[in-house]
Structure 1
Amino acid sequence: MADLGNRQNGERRNFGPFCLSPTERLLTRDGRPVDMGGRSFDLLVVLTEQPGRVLSKRELLKRVWSDVVVEDGSLRFHMAGLRKLLGDGEGGARYIATQVGVGYAFVAPVERVDPLGVSVPPSIPDEATERISADTTNLPPRLPRLIGRERDVRILVERVADTPLFTIVGSAGVGKTSLAVEIGHQLSPHFDGKIAFVDFSMLENPTVVPSMIAGAMGITVQSEDPLAVILGHIRDRRFLLVLDNCEHVIEPTANIIERIVDEAPNTRVLATSREPLRIRSEHVHRLDALAYPENPADLSLEQLLEFPAVQLFCERAAAADSSLEIDEESARLIGGMCHRLDGMALPIELAAVRVATHGISATARQLGERFSLGWSGRRTAQPRQQTLQATLDWSYDLLSRTEQVVLERLAIFVGPFSIDAALDVAADTEIGSNEVAVALDELTSKSLISPNRSRVSGTYRLLEMTRAYAREKLHARGRDPYVAAARRHASYFLGELEAIGRSDEDLLQDPRPLRLQLGNIRSALDWCFSRTGDIKIGVRLAAASAPVFQNLSHLLECRSWCARALSELADPQRGTAIELELQGALGISLMFTRGNSAAAGNALARALEIATDLEDHWSQLRMLGGLHIFHERIGEYQTAMLHARRAVEVAEAIGEPEAIGVANSLSGISHHLAGDQLRARLELELALETSPPSQRSRTTRYGFDHRNRSAIALARALWLTGHSARASAVARQTVREAAQLDHPVTHCIALIWSLAVYLWMDELDSAQDALDAFTECAEVNALGPYIAAAGGFRGELAIQRGGPGEALGAIEAIEESLSRLRAIRYELLTTPFSLALARGLMQCTRYQEARELIEATVARCNGNGERFALPELLRVKAQLLCRVDGDVSASETLLKEALDLAREQGSRAWELRITADLDGLLAANRSCPSCDSSSAEAPARPRSSDARPTLTGSSKS
């Protein structure tokens, strides 16, 4: 026979009309023996050992068939026979429940009695473990007391820190979230507070799971691959990611977690779900119901109050009614309700709050008549309606008709909502605002709506299962009620977002309130563009929400909704401010997510056209700024200059300091790249004088920070005009300010141009630090063009450090970087990288290749208007004339031409380098008077400084 444990104590188990005696191997019904097979008897013994607990198929097979190997079919056969023998399902009797894909549980009340007929009390839970308080990132507040979960907390605290993935699995309402939050708080010191809590209950669209995780981590995402950004942040760091309510987004979540487990070995994931994720490395912690009395009628008040389920009920009931007194009879009624509720935390809380309104006796009577708890069904079933359907039916039926309707209408919200939002969405001609306010208060008091009073304004939200249940009720009323509620919901958020757009206050500066409403904005957009939606509202909502998506760096979503709205644009909306906002946001989003495509340029150009027709000067200036950087990035510098000149005209028409600052920034940068360094300095300094302090909201609307970009361009112009110390100070300060702005694109722009300053000054350690920061920022935020550029800078730095041994690898790095940058139409770094590549080729004595490269670069710069580096290009070309042709005279002529150009540009730094080379060339000629300028042998080998063209003496001018 199977080893079923110690049965020597003679304990009997009573359930319904049955009495089970494990030691006598006897089952009786109403005192008469029941004939049953040995395996079925053993199954019954094992199931009744832990009533209410789901026993897995593997566990049952191991316990009952320990001596043989059997298939699942045998278990199903004997389980079906046992159910038939017990009369399971006859007359409402219920003994064995199946949790599909998991196992079985004995669900009838079981009373244990010893040989003398005395009830055997259940074991008392362990004492609570000491909690560790610690600051966390965005963890919700922990419960003052987590009742009945001491053992679960102890197990998880000991194991989560050393396990890649732990999933807390249990039915809806069992308390998974509360346990996960407690574990997060206790493990916070172990992870140095690096914890992110993600509540997927606010999410309807599975495709934005990675974006939601990034948002909870506080990560700015400006790429098409949020997961790459997440991995960039946590790949080599200790981090705890708590993912709550995964069941309705289980497929994408499982894939993401598997990537995190594989690529971030120091990251730990704690998930909650109604079913396992079923992926590699997963450890499952099944969260059972709270312990409750099997037979409360035989227990004293003190004994009843020792059960966690009863403690939870009493605590919540007392909180709802401070005058509530619980005597022995009341405690027995409560124990009976906890039994009927199977010890589930959430249904217990719902019932306990009702006690304040209906009293203990009435609540117990209603619960006994109506409640039936089912096990969770398959994944394809209606979400969150399998296990707590009866609980919610019961709660719903206790409501007045007005409360029912208001609850259904509030289910249209995703995540938190304000009282103003509730009044706008739930009220109509049938139910007025006053009635909605009263109903909202009643629903909150009955725990069907959860208040969050930690915020100044106060917000509310429906629990996930309540919202799903109420939404189905709303759908059941027919198409019209649902469509009406969805239209009011979309209209409310359209009005809120359009009001923000019209407001003079900078309401976009703090992204936290906006982040909380992303679920509602997405839900409204989804409905508007659905089959039953309202396209007109949807187009306006897409335009109004574009600044929000840009502010939160959800550029992929911004691009998607703008493109969808533009495809549905009605003729009367074309050429309006709505199309202007959609085209402008689409252009910026495309530029930073897909590169400098023609579609991005066309969208920005169309937006500028509309802004011009509408005589909207501020929008003209904003679009000119986008077009300016777009054409710079694709190497069309003369076109960018035209946009800068037009921006100056528009700014003069506006007449405000900020507009003047933006225009001078664009003009100054264009003149810097065109080679007019004195004018560039003047305009860039004026831009900084007139620009307001950098703000994140203003930055996100432009796509980058004009003030910060002005400052880093000024640092370059300062070095070129001979003010190296000030250039270094400005560059360092600008990079610090960009980092504080928390805008990755702006930060990368600052680092790119600071790298040029440090390399020009031969400050190679500073250049290395800037390159490391730039590489990390680019990789962490998955900014493709900047990732490609990082390889080129690594090669340039290696070449400047000198040595033929490093040059070969550096040449390959720069060539690969140039190839990748050209593929995405990013030409802004072509000239400096070509210069670096030529120097690397010279170090490897590949002079002819270097000469061809320099000549091609000179021709390109003369053609496109990028002339700031021409003096340096001509200087290097002069060196190559000596090395390749030995033509000293031509080299001297070229150096003099470069010198004149440097003086014309005001580029004192280039002037000093060229002068040093010219002096060296003339000195070499004087030391060899017999050398003819046409001789192939003249001059002698260049001095050692020419082997590395950045001359030590002149580079620090």
Structure 2
Amino acid sequence: MSSSSQIPPIQVSSLEGPVTFGPFRLTVGERLLTRDGAPVEIGGRTFDLLVALVEQPGRVLAKRDLLKRVWPDVVVEDGSLRFHMAGLRKLLGDGENGARYIATQVGVGYAFVATLQRAAPVAEASPVAAPLPRDGGSYSMEAAGRLPARLPRVFGRDTDVHLLTGRIPETPLFTIVGAAGVGKTTLAVEVGHMLMPHFAGKVRFVDLATLEDPALLASAIAGALGALVQSEDPMAVILGHIRQEHLLLILDNCEHLVDAVSRVVERLMDAAPHVHIVATSREPLRVRAEHVHWLGSLAYPDTAVEGLSLDALLAFPAVALFVERASAGNSALRFDVDAVRVVSDMCGRLDGMALPIELTAVRVAAHGLEATAQLLGERFSLAWAGRRTALPRQQTLQATLDWSYNLLPEAERLTLERLSVFLGPFSIDAALQVVTDEEVPTDAAVLALDELTTKSLISPDRLGNASTYRLLEMTRAYAREKLLGRGPQAFQAVARRHAAFFVAKLEEPAFSDRRCLDRFHYFSRQLGNIRSALDWSFGPDGDVALAVRLAAASVPVFTNMSLLVECRDWCARAVAHLDGHRDTAVEIEIQAALGLALMFTRGNSEAAETALRRALAVATTLGDHWNQLRLLGRLQIFHERIGDYATAHGWADMAVKVAGVIDTPEAAAVAASLAGISHHLAGDQSRARQELEFSIRQSMPSDRRWTVYFGFDHRNRSGIALARTLWLLGLADQARAVAARTVREAAGLEHAVTHCIALLWTLSVDLWAGDLEKAEVSLANFARAAEVNALGPYIAASGGLRGELAIQRGHVGEALDWLEESLARLRAARYELLTTTFSLALAQGLMLSGRQEEALDLVDAAVGRCAGNGELFSMPELLRVKADVLRALPDRDPAEVEALLQDALAWSRRQAAKAWELRAAIDLARLWMDQGQPARALALLRPLRDGFQEGLDTADLRAADQLLLMLADMPGTAGGGGALSAWPW
């Protein structure tokens, strides 16, 4: 590409300021790309690729230079560059409506060809890009919804907000440190909203106040990031999601988990350099690169106030906050200059601390200014004056809460104490269940809840809706100590009622019915309470009978949130205490969940099979046909994964019988899916197509609720199996259309395992068809999904697929190592479903390396294994490849090669696998042609080729067409004559 009119009018070797092209504005320093003013979500590598191109407009940049620039720290293949370049073009809309941004010079590289302009300077300098206006502006509510709502007004924090919004974008870690009640969370939330535009809406808030177990810290962060955790190492999942992301992560209330938070933060900073972290804590995290922002109290008059005017007094944030809160609590209050002077004195005694000021202001609204001031002077004159270090600040909060607590009547004290059992939000119904007993009857509890809310000791849940409430973390801790001080029996009684409430709530038909699982959002907000109830129930003073019921009832919550490790652990504990629940629906749920969770988290172990078989036995005893069908599906998949296809087929046959008893379209669809997949793997492609198409016709559209109930998306599994079946039947175009549709549906479910399964099995269609470019893109998507979600067997499979793709390209190199390592890792996990495919690829790679004897041993072992385990669909291809290996060996009898190819043809015809038949026929025709029998070869291949009406662009049909042309030119065939040209393959 040479300089021409297409080259932009400016040349930039570095982008020191914003530039524009088309509707886009690129600001490199802020790593920000906008389109028509709106931030564009763009991955880190893709952004770097765009910058590299824009820095040298009009110039063709070689692929190796781009790889070195964008991936300086790792060795990657050209495929990664092509994949990200395709994504960049799609993001820019390159080629749409005549827009042209990136040109390709085939075999050389890429050039940026759009017109670049220097962006006009903004009117005013600002530490961040276009912060949100105080009224919320028009920024994406979907993005803002991940943060708690910002307060209508934040008092006295303008300087803090300005400093933090200016420095956080340049600083990996800022910790806001201050005493309890000083306003750390309020400041962090305000700063998060202000920085929304700078981080293109990617600001995530993690409330750690409801988390008591440090081991669950990573899972809590993953949940806030929307990352599905299905592995032993949630941090691997988190890093997979955010390694290249430009986002702001706010970790609120870190003090009780400070050691665990420090470790996690250091790991995040090491592995995700574009992630910025804001933490709030009562003490610094004390990690490297930490910047600490000490948040002091609100300013108040610290000298005589007699000479200050009303406006001068109200200019102090502490005083303004007090007056605003008191006025909001009682609109009849009037604050003249004398009253505000009293308020100023009270703010001084409260040391300007936001929470005590608000508590005191509420008391003023209820009891009047004079009485409250008198009480404050009596209770806090010694405790508050001059205390500025950490410990006195904690004592200050203690004093404030002591004072508020001592003002309460006994019913309100008991109510506040009992509410401390909740971790996070609670409803009025939940509160009444926990609070009410002989000491606090229902009427008294209702009144106490109302009074405590009025007094700001109970707060509306800022993260939830108007019908839920919560205790501030410091209030909950204070009340918990008071409850424990009443003796162990008092706490046990409250904890029992708390656990019983969630058992009853989770067991309600509206939630537990598999067809009505639309309350997941509610229970995901209650995860802290569910965990707390489970922990107490299984504890030394708990109730194991209640614990087992709770573990069973909470299974859908954990599985929907993909917290399979946690689900596994609770179910394993429940199995040890099943005595009162054996042979019940509760045991079915526990064992079924344990088996499924073990499959995904610890591989296809015997323990998983034992749990699933036990659950099926109980369901059969109880005549629970739906659970029988669900468990037969899981067992069929389990044995399919370990390579025991005959047993898997048996489970599918049983599922068909059970579905006949249930007699609903949904049941018939699930059973037909299992049967169709079993027929496909057993080599009966005609029967497989019949069952799979029936399954899809009977299925409702893919629904996450059904996926959670069954553990797998059976409609999606039908789609991927049908795509493979259609290809084997010789219907390549239909196969590719079904594969593409199935992958789209899987992505729409937002279920990591389902998406990975779809990508994995439809990728085989690309490889079979010889569409290596498409396979490369699919493989990149699959590998990333597997890595991001830490799915061990699929990570192992991605290496084998990379090796298979390289072998098809004729590049042996590292392909053999990739394949051998993948096979070893898959077998260690008892995941045999891919081993035949990878063994075939490895054998072909060994042949290309001249290691025919090793290839022959490998194929013979695979033939024996498939004959023994029922994986017969691979048999025609195994026999064909074995013949190919034998043909390459010296001193081999051609008759033996021909016999193997004839066997491959016979197997293909019995299976109706026209695609395998064509491959075997091509090889046999080549053999006969070499033996001087072109007419025989032509007679074999011509009618078979003519039977294909689609997929004319696939590698096998192109090879058949070339061979037929050569055969037609040879002597001894109709129209034959002329010399044999060189082989094109």
TM-score, normalisation: structure 1 = 0.82
2:408 to 399, 404, 411: 399
Q: Does 1:230 align with 2:238?
A: yes
Deviations 1:914-950 (A, max 9, x none): 1122222111211699xxxxxxxxxxxxxxxxxx996
Letter in 1 for 2:668: I
Q: 1:767-846 to 2 correspondence within 5 Å?
A: 767-802=775-810, 806-846=811-851
1:13 is matched with which residue?
A: none
Q: 1:590-739 to 2 correspondence within 5 Å?
A: 590-739=598-747
2:572 is matched with which residue?
A: 563
Query: Alpha carbons of 1:250 and 1:354: their partners in 2 closer, same or farther (altered >3 Å)?
Result: same
Deviations 1:169-200 (A, max 9, x none): 00001000011011111111111111110000
Q: Distance in 1 between matches of 2:396 and 2:379?
A: 15
1:44 is matched with which residue?
A: none
Query: Alpha carbons of 1:183 and 1:754: their partners in 2 closer, same or farther (altered >3 Å)?
Result: same
Q: Distance in 2 between matches of 1:750 and 1:872?
A: 23
Q: Distance in 1 between matches of 2:520 and 2:925?
A: 59
Q: Does 1:277 align with 2:282?
A: no
Q: 1:371-382 to 2 correspondence within 5 Å?
A: 371=380, 372-373=383-384
1:426 to 435, 439, 463: 435
Unaligned ranges ≥5, structure 2: 1-129, 936-953, 964-985
Q: Does 1:458 align with 2:467?
A: yes
Q: Distance in 2 between matches of 1:240 and 1:950?
A: 51
Shift of 1:306: 1.0
Letter in 2 for 1:322: S
Residue identity over aligned pairs, in percent, reads: 58
Shift of 1:254: 0.8
1:901 is matched with which residue?
A: 907
Q: Are the aligned partners of 2:770 and 2:955 in contact in 1 as well (CA < 8 Å)?
A: no
1:413 is paired with a residue whose SS is: coil
Q: Distance in 1 between matches of 2:820 and 2:472?
A: 56
Q: Are the aligned partners of 2:514 and 2:705 in contact in 1 as well (CA < 8 Å)?
A: no
Deviations 1:469-519 (A, max 9, x none): 111111111122211111110000000001147754744345321210000
Q: Are the aligned partners of 2:238 and 2:788 in contact in 1 as well (CA < 8 Å)?
A: yes
Shift of 1:455: 5.5
Q: Does 1:860 align with 2:865?
A: yes
Q: Distance in 1 between matches of 2:594 and 2:884?
A: 47
2:317 to 291, 308, 332: 308
Q: Does 1:441 align with 2:450?
A: yes
Shift of 1:860: 0.8
1:776 is paired with a residue whose SS is: helix
Deviations 1:145-182 (A, max 9, x none): 21111111111111111111110000001000011011
2:248 is paired with a residue whose SS is: strand
2:554 is paired with a residue whose SS is: helix
Q: Distance in 2 between matches of 1:647 and 1:203?
A: 42
1:875 is matched with which residue?
A: 880
Deviations 1:668-709 (A, max 9, x none): 101100100000010011111112222112212222111111
Q: Does 1:148 align with 2:156?
A: yes
Letter in 2 for 1:207: A
Shift of 1:330: 0.7
Q: Does 1:168 align with 2:161?
A: no
Shift of 1:296: 2.7
2:521 is matched with which residue?
A: 512
Shift of 1:385: 5.7
1:953 is paired with a residue whose SS is: helix
Shift of 1:434: 2.0
Q: Distance in 2 between matches of 1:356 and 1:453?
A: 23
Deviations 1:378-437 (A, max 9, x none): 7xx9xx964410000111112121111111111111100111111111111222222211
1:714 is paired with a residue whose SS is: helix
Shift of 1:956: 13
Deviations 1:100-122 (A, max 9, x none): xxxxxxxxxxxxxxxxxxxxxxx
Letter in 2 for 1:825: R
1:918 to 903, 918, 924: 924
Shift of 1:216: 1.1
Q: Are the aligned partners of 1:590 and 1:600 in contact in 2 as well (CA < 8 Å)?
A: yes
Q: Distance in 2 between matches of 1:535 and 1:795?
A: 51
1:177 is paired with a residue whose SS is: helix
Q: Are the aligned partners of 2:565 and 2:601 in contact in 1 as well (CA < 8 Å)?
A: yes
1:527 is matched with which residue?
A: 536
Letter in 2 for 1:763: D
1:759 is paired with a residue whose SS is: helix
Q: 1:346-361 to 2 correspondence within 5 Å?
A: 346-361=355-370
Deviates more, 1:143-152 or 1:460-469: 143-152
Q: Does 1:388 align with 2:393?
A: no
Q: Are the aligned partners of 1:501 and 1:544 in contact in 2 as well (CA < 8 Å)?
A: no
Shift of 1:863: 0.8
1:808 is paired with a residue whose SS is: coil
Q: 1:885-900 to 2 correspondence within 5 Å?
A: 885-900=891-906
Q: Distance in 2 between matches of 1:848 and 1:569?
A: 55
Q: Distance in 1 between matches of 2:673 and 2:543?
A: 42
Shift of 1:457: 6.3
Q: 1:582-597 to 2 correspondence within 5 Å?
A: 582-597=590-605
Deviations 1:253-294 (A, max 9, x none): 111001000110000110000000011111100000011011
1:242 to 250, 262, 265: 250
Q: Distance in 1 between matches of 2:406 and 2:608?
A: 55
Deviates more, 1:260-269 or 1:507-516: 507-516
2:305 is matched with which residue?
A: 296
Shift of 1:911: 1.1
Q: Distance in 2 between matches of 1:444 and 1:845?
A: 80
Shift of 1:573: 1.7
2:866 is paired with a residue whose SS is: helix
2:422 to 413, 418, 422: 413
Larger radius of gyration: 1
Q: Are the aligned partners of 2:251 and 2:280 in contact in 1 as well (CA < 8 Å)?
A: yes
1:14 is matched with which residue?
A: none
Letter in 1 for 2:603: G
2:555 to 546, 550, 554: 546
TM-score, normalisation: structure 2 = 0.79
Q: Distance in 2 between matches of 1:410 and 1:418?
A: 11
Q: Distance in 2 between matches of 1:558 and 1:593?
A: 10
Deviates more, 1:917-926 or 1:639-648: 917-926
Deviations 1:430-452 (A, max 9, x none): 22222211111111111100114
Query: Alpha carbons of 1:509 and 1:811: their partners in 2 closer, same or farther (altered >3 Å)?
Result: farther
Q: Are the aligned partners of 1:376 and 1:387 in contact in 2 as well (CA < 8 Å)?
A: no
Deviations 1:294-337 (A, max 9, x none): 13344221221110100111111111122221101110111011
Q: Are the aligned partners of 1:591 and 1:597 in contact in 2 as well (CA < 8 Å)?
A: yes
Letter in 2 for 1:861: C
Letter in 2 for 1:346: L
Deviations 1:35-86 (A, max 9, x none): xxxxxxxxxxxxxxxxxxxxxxxxxxxxxxxxxxxxxxxxxxxxxxxxxxxx
Unaligned ranges ≥5, structure 1: 1-128, 930-947
Q: Does 1:491 align with 2:497?
A: no
1:48 is matched with which residue?
A: none
1:745 to 750, 753, 767: 753
Shift of 1:777: 0.7
Shift of 1:143: 1.4
Shift of 1:845: 2.2
Letter in 2 for 1:291: A
RMSD: 2.1
